[in-house]
Structure 1
């Protein structure tokens, strides 16, 4: 990564107030992009936006009207839109014997509907005739859970598998319609952040591992690289896909999981 490779470009990162989204915002800004943080957590989101010298928009990814208003505000504040990172997502573990359909619907609403709406508004904004109108890049955040069978993650894994399919169909539609928008996704491995720690604790609560430490060790044991991913490594992949170094990478899923999902 160089400091100028995304210079002159604007990026909207959903779920940018914390975790991987915050790290994506930091790395995109470090590469020269003007970053707009979209989130429901206004105070945290504004803090991240200020730290990266960018902007903030209130955004509920499950709501079409919120997307329309948020993208319009992002274009107005940043002067355009070239990159959309559909990062906002939730993970709630649960066993099939205890399956709660409302939880499944909530996961799909955020992870699948939210990502789909992000693609919709990215296309409308960055495609010909849109308020940005110069084409661009969409990067969807899937998960290694889309490629492996890990217990208690059926709904989450299914939602992230859907993100993979959404990505590939969106790339094809963009090409067929001449929108000039590349669409790719990444599959992050488990990261030792708040969400990763929460997953380890959930595995213990559900009785699948005797402790959170052993749950993490179980994941590491499935990973040829022998460790967890770092947030910086995941963010580097986002910057790569957003850059001209990836200008002929389209409709692809990039694993950043240390080989866990191979």
Structure 2
């Protein structure tokens, strides 16, 4: 079937930096027209310009704005074949310290936005005649939980769950929907709180003896949106260097 994805059109949320920027870059390098959705500011427009792509500024916590942003991006691209939901936030808090505001914003960005950007993109894909690929970035925390990650883990478990349901809904339209569960990936997220000792301890959890890089996730996304992956849907794939294997 081949793996060529050139000429396709992709919307990547949270594409201004980190994993999202690596995904956008990998797709663009393979001939995909890319639109980045991220918070207004300098990083997003600069990242999109570097790719020759489109930038749409949006706070994804606003579901209506998130849907409108996908529509705007699709219009700019002339359609949409790929959606990558990468945007997310991480706020550390234990059950005893978690606030309602932290819970609500984490779920709004990490989970609710995923649902409604999928809805907008899927409607556009179906209007084009069907077919397409959606990849939602979850987390290893969706399967393992984590100390002081109650809200984050819950939101990412929700991403895995809505991915399964969306795959069932969209399968008749030949739209695949999968999620990735990255482990410890070295990005800006969490950089302010991790130490060299943390990195060493986390690296020891992997049989490969290292942490992941954004490119490790981007490579898997590239596969899932290619013709080689059209019979994969509803899955939650681990990208953890063997830290978890179920």
* Common fold: TM-score over 0.5: yes
SS in 2 for 1:57: strand
The answer to whether the aligner puts 1:258 opposite 2:241 as a matched pair is yes
Match of 1:174 in 2: 170
Aligned 8 A contact 1:57 1:73 in 2: yes
Alpha-carbon offset, residue 199 of structure 1: 5.0
Partner in structure 2 of residue 208 of structure 1: none
Alignment match, 2:151: 155
CA distance in 2, matches of 1:58, 1:139: 20
Corresponding residue of 1:206: none
Unpaired stretches in structure 2, ≥5 consecutive residues: none
Query: TM-score, structure 1 length as denominator?
Result: 0.88
5+ residue gaps in structure 1?
A: 201-211
Answer yes or no: is 1:194 the counterpart of 2:182.
no
SS in 1 for 2:200: helix
Give the C-alpha shift of residue 143 in structure 1: 0.6
Conserved in 2, the CA contact under 8 Å of 1:16 and 1:45? yes
Shift of 1:37: 0.6
Give 3-state SS (helix, strand or coil) of 1:71's partner: helix
Determine the C-alpha separation between the residues in 2 that align with 1:213 and 1:16.
27
Residue 245 of structure 1 corresponds to: 228
Aligned residues: 244
Matches within 5 A, 1:66-105: 66-105=65-104
Q: Mean alpha-carbon deviation: is it higher for 113-122 or for 212-221?
A: 212-221
Give the Å deviation of 1:38. Answer: 0.7
Q: Which runs of 4+ in 1 moved over 4 A?
A: none
Which segment is superposed worse, 99-108 or 233-242?
A: 99-108
CA distance in 2, matches of 1:70, 1:46: 14
Q: Which whole-Å CA distance do the structure 1 matches of 2:193 and 2:110 have between them?
A: 16
| 2:229 matches 1:229 | no
**Distance (Å, rounded) in 2 between the aligned partners of 1:77 and 1:124:** 16
More contact order relative to length (CA 8 Å, sep ≥ 6): 2
Does the CA contact (< 8 Å) of 1:88 and 1:111 recur in 2? yes
Aligned-residue RMSD, C-alpha: 1.7
| CA pair 10-119 structure 1, distance change in 2 beyond 3 A | same
C-alpha separation between the residues in 2 aligned to 1:95 and 1:72? 37
SS in 2 for 1:76: helix
Mapped to 2, the partners of 1:186 and 1:48 lie a distance apart of 23
For the residues of structure 1 that align with 2:158 and 2:181, how far apart are their CA atoms?
Answer: 12
Deviation at 1:90, TM superposition (A): 0.3
